[in-house]
Structure 1
Amino acid sequence: MLFDLDGTLTDPFEGVVRCVQYALDRLGLAAPERSALRDWIGPPLQDSFRALLGDEALALEALTLYRERYAVKGLYENKVYPGIPGLLDDLQRADVRMMVATTKLNTAAESVLAHFNLARYVSALAGTTVDGRLHDKAAVIAELLPRFTVDERAHCVMVGDRRFDIDGARAHGIPCVAVRWGYGELAELQAAQPMHIVSDVEELRSALFIDVGRANRSQAHNPFKTMTLPTIDAFPERYHFRFCPRCATPLLRTPLFGMERQRCPACSWVHFPLPNLAATVIIEYQGGIVLVQRDIEPDRGIWHLPIGHAEYGEDPADAALREGEEETGLVLATPRFLSYVHSPSYSDPRLFYLVLGFARAIGGELVGSDEGRNTRVVPLAALEPLKWSGQQAALEAYRRFRSQESEVRSQ
């Protein structure tokens, strides 16, 4: 795993401000406002001085003066972000090898890590060099990549707080988790399109799938080693992609965050197969329950309750109402919630959440639809078990509800 330093592991703001002010004061120049210097944390300092001064030689002189003060005072005007040591400790216990890729001068970064007792977590570090050989984030990441094994390289993730971290990682096909406690504004991070954006260390911990809920923290789950969840082949065909939807680059299959995923080597887009949300509704009509006979594959011919997927932005109750009315022709009262189940289906193993509800028919005429032309009404007591487990769970929940309702009325 690769970590940025400034704005990710430590907060260098006070030291950066004072060193910039020192350098410019020595040159007889006014320093920018403190708030403007936030943008100096992340990009190479030489670039920031050049943009401010408009002269390469003057920028180099300012950078030399900056480093003069930073080496003796500035690096101590720094602090470790809360929660970072604990996170690094968890990662180390999980046998995750960590390296630091920073645009801070290499020797300065080593001093910061040593001073704050963070060097014990880091197996390697790459920063910018005085001779300019390593100048930007992509270059320092490239310096570290040969140190990874082939397996580690396939699972590598960058953690940083600026677009420079995201872009530098993307140059090598590495996904990036962007943190918001540093110096990148949310709009900047969103525009750079990292794999995740997290607001605090606990969110970062969750994004990295580090299990901190166990009593023995030394047994924390390491997502970069044992792939126990389903491979892509276990998912339905409609979850398989050949090309990146962002840039059309052919996708690679690689273990990442606990399971095999499809990842773009060009822009670092990662496919996360998200659960489907559907709703089924038990319709009370003429003393019984409405069933629809399925007229499409798979399972053509079975009798089932009205059911369908929720559409984008649709409330589950609205989905149940819409599906119930579309499949039966009836006008329904607002459905009442019964329960929900995580129910495998014929097309969505482990990816199907079904909201269960019931509603009373208040109008309309019972007719079929394109997906189920035949309908019938069956007394609840005469209903045979339904084939789909989620719908059977709906019937059982409905029976419990009616039974409890009867008990209350009899008291």
Structure 2
Amino acid sequence: MERSRRWLQCRSTPSSGLGESVKTKSKPARDAGGSATLLEVARAAGVSAATVSRILNGGARVSEAKRAAVEAAIAALNFKPNALAQSLKRGRSLTFGVLTQSVDSPFFAETLLGIEAALAGTGYEPLIASGHWNPQEEADRLRRLLARQVDGLIVLFGKLSNDELQRFALHVPVVATGHELRSPRALAFRLDNELGGYMATRHLLDLGHRDIAHITGDLAHADAVDRLAGYRRALAEAGVPYDERLVVQGNFKEPGGVMAANRLLDAGVPFTAIFAANDQTAYGAHLALYRRGIRVPDDISLIGFDDLPSSLYTTPPLTTVRQPMFDVGRLAAQALLRMVEGEPATLDELPELSLVVRETTRRLR
């Protein structure tokens, strides 16, 4: 009996090895990475776990004091939400597919920065692919993005038709730039490139130039066609005859600008100014003029189109038509965010083109 009582005492009074009983205190479970849990954040902030979850998902209407307490707790505990779990709960991947045409282009880089800025803090991330101005490649890249279960698509310019964009919109909402389209699941917009071409040429005309050359972009692109139309309209308004010998096709890239400017010079037709279809073309044209000993703007005035960041730092700084591509990217992403939330396909007011006068144009002597 004595042995039985001692055995029962040992069973009922666990020992720590120091002759004292040990009480086990339960702790909130941590995730596999050892970071704080949502429940710990809720306790530290003095709110419910459901409130923390709603704040993280952007759907909670709470006082600023509660929101501040949750944000402080997240920072103090180094809490990192499980993005995969959040996306599964929402039934979304929290990703947008973005089809650009060339990731190394400064023009598209500005647009991508605008998309990133609009998505910051929303939980959405961009997946970027390049189409290289090839409609078959563009369609293939979009299909691959859809296979990644993206929640929406942003298509930056390109050669896909409106009908093709509508077919992709059967799967997810689509926002496209460089097109004109509006339907419940597809929204496209473009800036007024004809007006931009007119503004550039009008600036040169106002400086007294009449023999104005134009290096176009690839005329398979609508933007290039529209800028040429703006050039022609400005000449017609000023009573200056259109001379096709002063119009040479480029390809929107620096080497194309070099070759086009050389063709203009070799043709022997006099001109005092060049309107280049974009800034990259203007960089190339400027190099060709420099190699011939022709000074800008003393001998030839030069104007571009886009206002890329580097245009401020050319020698001399480039006069150009500003195309606010950062804002274009931002507006496209904001419109897609609304569409994936079930709101109508609407667009904020489009930014306007503007003339940026620097030091590559001057009044004709």
| Both structures adopt the same fold (TM-score exceeding 0.5) | no
Which is higher, the Rg of structure 1 or of structure 2?
2
Q: TM-score, normalised by structure 2?
A: 0.31
Higher strand share: 1
Higher helix share: 2
Q: TM-score, normalised by structure 1?
A: 0.28
